[in-house]
Structure 1
Amino acid sequence: MFETIQYELKEGIAWLTLNRPDKLNAFVAQMNREIKEALRMASKDDNARCIVVTGEGRAFCSGQDLSEVDEQMDHGQVLRDHYGPMILEIKKTEKPIIAAVNGVAAGAGFSLALACDFRLMSEKASYINAFIHVGLIPDSGNLFYLSQLVGAAKAAEISILGEKITAAQALELGLATKVFSPEDFVAEVEAFAKGIAAKPTKAIGLIKRGLNDVQTLPFEEYLQREAESQRIAGLTKDHVEGIEAFKDKRNPEFIGK
């Protein structure tokens, strides 16, 4: 179905693997489109309770494939046509998305990781806002998410200096949810994803919707949207299960509905 990525649904987890290992999983336009399509597939599939984005081989994603760049290119149009739609698809996907950063995440690869809900890193992985080294600005939503996570001053430092951020530094900065050894990385990512997939999926989607609303709505309007979301959550089977499990003094078994 896809040429630049792999897509597999396994035990409630949709695994989306960037699959250009010989190019360190660098972006080409087709990859942008295929990521967007895979996210839509997972969003529509009730069996997909969680999405994991990772890279094949030794890199997560090295950013734009520079062999496709020439001096006649309109970089703004490339963002409008390819990167912007991909990042918007991530933002509007209401299922939890985990970036499993197995190796270097540079440039737009860093942006991809930032746009996800969780960032799990291998100890050998790293980030770098590499745009400055080719005379460009961080794009694909990079500064939007980076400034939210680390603040404007640190975001400026990371973007203008363009220095490598190790996994340990990322954890300290709040750019990594957890860091695992390379030997345990795949197993730990799978365990984390299974834990997220076992949670009430609809409630997670409504939480993500609320976090987006916080950024755009006046507070009074946000409270109205919050009440509507809570009404929806209160009608789910998972809410009923949560209440019954509490009364029965047992662990709930959520089904994502």
Structure 2
Amino acid sequence: MRIVKLSSQSLLFPSPESALRDPNGLLAIGGDLTVPRLREAYEHGIFPWYSPGKAILWWSPDPRAVLFPAERHLSRSLKRFLRSNPFCITLNHDFAAVIAACAHRPHEGSWIGPEMLHAYLQLHLLGYAHSVEVWQQGQLVGGMYGVAQGALFCGESMFSHVSNASKCALMAFCRHFAAYGGELIDCQVLNAHSAQLGAREIPRPRHQFLQQLSDLQRKPLAPGCWLLQVLPPQ
């Protein structure tokens, strides 16, 4: 298989089934990060991930890491932590600050460059991308953002400036999303952090993740899901 170079004249992507095995999920190169192209990508289980200043790379890994909200896992220590109620958790109060914090990781590096920042801010302004913010004494200390696809939410990135902030963001969002009819959170690639919270891998093929994506895109959420609001801690 060969990596497809995207045409600037077309928004079409190759089938996710044609993605490379090594590196896992690499599907295409090039194109742009305009809202129409990003929407086309997410509708087909494809997302951009590349180093700032380099060519845009598009991915659809197999297996796919997902989190079913009902399967979210709170450890005993996290439950004790939540009982202390140290945070105020909000939805869509400051998307720009959340994605900027995800991009600024001095000790880790980041794949979120200026082009990505601008692109996802445009998605947010048009109502397609959303953020969860974690506040402590009025300061933003954690959060996450992603792209909505009906009853499926594509998680993109999260950050934490204090212990447990990003975990609390995800747990609060799981509860909120499920309450409005959300059924699945796409975590893209499994890591120790997401696995600890209940994420697991499922196959990508059309009878698994891609089929669920297609089905859930057509399921509307209850009204008010994405309105600015304060979320219960978990």
TM beyond 0.5: no
**TM-score, normalised relative to structure 1:** 0.31
Answer with 1 or 2: which has the greater Rg: 1
Q: In proportion to residue count, which structure has more strand? A: 2
**TM-score, normalised relative to structure 2:** 0.33
Greater RCO, 1 or 2 (C-alpha within 8 Å, sep 6+): 2
Q: In proportion to residue count, which structure has more helix? A: 1
